[in-house]
Amino acid sequence: MALMKKGCKGEDVRAVQEGLTALGIDCGPIDGKFGKKTKAGVEAFQRQNALKVDGIVGPITDGALEAKLKNLYPEPKTEHYSLADINICRPALRHLWQDLPVKYYPNAQKVLERMELVREKLLRTWPYAVLQVRNGYRPEAYNKQVGGARKSRHLYGQAVDLMCKTDVIQYVPNCYQIGVLCLALFNEDGGLGLGSNTNVHMDIREKKTRWYYTYKTMKAWEKNQQY
Ligand SMILES: [Zn+2]
């Protein structure tokens, strides 16, 4: 993991702030910005756990935080989905794998809850469809290897790439249809990556964001939407 210290910002910082807050340590607002208050919170955590007090989140402090949160955060789970749907490793990349860090469990929980909404809506039209995750969490080295974006939401357990299978010989929705359904469900916020032939990318970012994988698929998408 990369060191986190004053001046850093991002989803990894946000998860640390969320974790410290859940442990009852004041670290200011949960805003993903590592400022003075976050540093004070990290120092308080280090003091409580007899670690070197430097206000920097390195592997040792991160490991201690993981251990504490493990007792605090429930494992992500909904009626039909579980942590196993986030921890999906391609066999060929097992050497780059590590399971989702506990500090990202709240993210994964939100993702699974969104999957339930997608499933429910899917089954109304396609009762035999099985909603599956093609890509869930990606550790840093793994993300790099598969060509993921540098700040990909997959790094923080905030994203899944969805696809459909069926248990019986019956028509199942394609990526376009899953995408249309996701657009209708999540029109306030979140990220949706559309226009791939294999999956729909869905994430829980706060700012509503939509993109298409290529210009060609974007055009095809626009044409389909006029039906
Ligand atoms: Zn994705």
Ligand 1 center–CA 138 separation, angstroms: 10
Q: What average pLDDT does this structure show over 178-185?
A: 92
163 CA → ligand 1 middle, Å = 11
Separation of CA 120 and ligand 1 centre (Å): 21
Structure tokens at 29: 């607002």
Residue 117 CA, ligand 1 centroid: distance in Å: 18
**Domains in the chain with CATH codes:** 11-70 (1.10.101.10), 83-225 (3.30.1380.10)
Give the predicted TM-score (pTM) of the model. 0.92
Q: What is the spatial distance between Cα 113 and Cα 119, in angstroms, rounded to a whole number?
A: 10
Ligand 1 centroid to Cα of residue 46, in Å, is 35
CA distance 142 to 149: 11
**Whether the predicted pLDDT of 226 surpasses 60:** no
C-alpha of residue 160 to centroid of ligand 1, in Å: 6
In 3D, which of 18, 113, 67, 41 has the Cα closest to residue 59? 67
Average pLDDT, the chain: 92
**Beta-bridge partner residues of 163:** 132
Closest to 106 measured CA to CA, from 10, 202, 210, 11: 11
Q: Cα(53) to centroid of ligand 1, in Å?
A: 37
pLDDT, one tens digit per residue, over 189-205 is 999 998 888 899 999 99
Are residues 85 and 160 in contact, defined by beta-carbon separation less than 8 angstroms? yes
Q: How many residues belong to the chain?
A: 227
Q: What is the per-residue pLDDT for 91?
A: 95
pLDDT for residue 173? 80
177 CA distance to ligand 1 centroid (A)? 17
Mark out the alpha helices in 4-104 (DSSP H runs): 11-22, 36-48, 59-70
Please say if the pLDDT value at position 21 is more than 70: yes
**Dihedral, CA of residue 94, residue 97, residue 102 and residue 105, to nearest 10:** -80
> pLDDT tens across 81-105, in order?
999 999 999 999 999 999 999 999 9
Cα 92 to ligand 1 centre (Å): 19
**pLDDT, tens digit, 9 for 90 and up, residues 49-69:** 999 999 999 999 999 999 999
| Residue 215 confidence class, pLDDT cut points 50, 70, 90 | confident
pLDDT at 224: 65
